[in-house]
Structure 1
Amino acid sequence: MTPKLDGILETAVYVDDMGAAHAFYEGLLGLKRMVKGDRLYAYDVGPGAALLVFHRGHTGEDVATPGGIVPGHDTTGPSHFAFRISADMVQPWRSHLTANNIEIISEVTWPAGGVSLYFKDPDGNVLEVAAPPNWPNFQS
């Protein structure tokens, strides 16, 4: 039997300009930075969840920590992740992005009735704010 998972603890994006990324994730999206390092910023995205912003090209090697080795990882090209929002926050997010000259590159109304707004960060990563219902396990 497969052991139970409790959700996603972290998701990550890779960026070329850490300063621009911080201005975007903290300044525009209002995320609180929890960790600041040369190769990684970590942001609080809600109870028990973190967004890791890695400096592209600086994370491929293993890193020794007092608690053990963190295996190297890296990626090229844009990635994607979604923030959970409530249905009543779709219009405020639409307005906030527009007011800050962030292009909404797509808006999707899902068959179950949820709405997603897609936009890009300064490195071209595709971000989404998603309101339920869309996935069967994401109702509200």
Structure 2
Amino acid sequence: MKTAIRHHHTALHVADMERSARFYVEGLGLVRLKEWTSGPYVGELYGRPDVKVKALMLSTGDGTFNLELVQVEDPPPAVNPSEAQPGTAHLAFTDIDLRKVYARMTALGYSALSEPVAPTSGPVAGGLLIYLLDPDGNRVELIQPPDWPPSDNS
């Protein structure tokens, strides 16, 4: 059944485009789709006529998720998105070998809020969870379901 609305992308505002791209591309394995700079419409959209923006669209490569990294050349005052406060959010990725990705991310110098955790209740009980921080402090949750890896029979 087709819904009336579909997800197009999720955007994160970042301080340094290449630093953030390294986290999501080299660390998590997303792929670069397209990079561009803003046209005059962006100033109107942001309500700031002189704003200049760079953007990079990333994807999981299978068409299921697109992540847009946005670097505002004249950034607003900084906030601390790493703290779970109203108005903050996190990204979550699943179907991964969590310990392998965690090892790669820490080897690349990225921070985690903890070691991998095995939840004892909820939808991923028996699996593994972890929160990483991207270069701008955004929380990125990695989820390894309890039935991962999938069997060869699926």
Count of equivalent residues: 117
Quick one: which of 82, 92, 109 aligns to 2:118? 109
1:95 to 92, 103, 123: 103
Name 2:133's counterpart in structure 1.
Answer: 120
The one-character-per-residue Cα deviations of 1:50-101 (angstroms, maximum 9, x if unpaired) are 11111247799xxxxxxxxxxxxxx954241011124xx0221122122222
1:42 CA displacement: 0.6
The answer to whether the 8 Å contact 2:19/2:135 transfers is: yes
Give secondary structure in 2 for the equivalent of 1:25.
Answer: helix
TM-score scaled by length of structure 1 = 0.66
2:50 corresponding residue in structure 1: none
Q: CA deviation at 1:104?
A: 2.0
Q: Which has the larger radius of gyration?
A: 2
Unaligned runs of 5+ in 1: 61-74, 134-139
Identity of matched residues, %:
29
How far apart are the structure 2 equivalents of 1:37 and 1:59? 17
Q: TM-score with structure 2 length normalisation?
A: 0.61
Residue 29 of structure 1 deviates from its aligned partner by 2.5
Alpha carbons of structure 1 residues 105 and 58: separation in structure 2 relative to 1, 3 Å: same
